[in-house]
Amino acid sequence: MDTGGLSTLDQRIADCRACPRLVDWREEVARTKRAAFADWTYWGRPVPGFGPPDASLLIVGLAPAAHGGNRTGRMFTGDRSGDVLYQALYDVGLASQPTAVRADDGLELLGVRVTSPVHCAPPANKPTPAERDTCRPWLVQELDLLRPTLRAAVVLGAFGWQAALPAFADAGWTVPRPRPPFAHGGRVTLDAPDGPGLRLFGCFHVSQRNTFTGRLTPEMLRDVLREAADAAGLPTRQSG
């Protein structure tokens, strides 16, 4: 794969057509749209990661939402999961604003990059294991490019955790055996034979199912983000 930088990688991801089921679904959603977004021109393509190329903290989700990232072209932008995530990032001082509406809304992440192990919106939010594995090389390449500055990562949900661990291993970090199970608030240090290790944090996904039921509260999310930011060497606000 091209190692010319994250911008080149993002362009290549956006052109990927490797998974026929996902290509069909994302493009069908973009054609039919949701009534509330009838005046939008949907992105309808794989959604690259979002954030600075020298990020020291990475947030790993699941996959773009059909009417969120698949519509706006930016991770966690335009859906309720993103509303929760970016509000929390803003509260702790890691985002320039608390909302993410469209790709040109001026939002900047401060030392943080957001990505996912699957870059296309999947039917029912459930990519298959084969689709996850097909998409993994993109995440490995992203990790390779971030590695000089990356010091910590927050992984949202069990699917993201299971998908991310092999990618971290492929990118050169040492994942313990047996692989650590996912847990909210879980912490694992991934050593590296040729450089700094990576502090890995588990967090319940910011899905509506978790946030509406109180399984994941804003305070819980902020606590994980602050601890991960501290591990990454990023300053945070304590209020909010």
Q: List the pLDDT tens digit at each of the 240 positions of the chain.
A: 334 699 999 999 999 999 999 999 999 999 999 999 999 999 999 999 999 999 999 999 999 999 999 999 999 999 999 999 999 999 999 999 999 999 999 999 999 999 999 999 999 999 999 999 999 999 999 999 999 999 999 999 999 999 999 999 999 999 999 999 999 999 999 999 888 899 999 999 999 999 999 999 999 999 999 999 999 999 998 765
pLDDT given at position 4: 60
Q: pLDDT (tens digit, 9 = 90+) per residue, 87-127?
A: 999 999 999 999 999 999 999 999 999 999 999 999 999 99
pTM of the model: 0.95
pLDDT given at position 196: 87
pLDDT given at position 3: 44
Quickly list DSSP for the chain.
Answer: ---S-HHHHHHHHHT----HHHHHHHHHHHHH--GGGTT-----S----BS-TT-SEEEE-S---TTTHHHHSSTT-SSHHHHHHHHHHHHTTSBSSS---STTS---BSSEEEE-S--SPPGGG---HHHHHHHHHHHHHHHHHHTTT--EEEEEHHHHHHHHHHHHHHTT-B--SSPPPP-TT-EEEEB-TTS--EEEEEE----HHHHHHTSS-HHHHHHHHHHHHHHHT-------
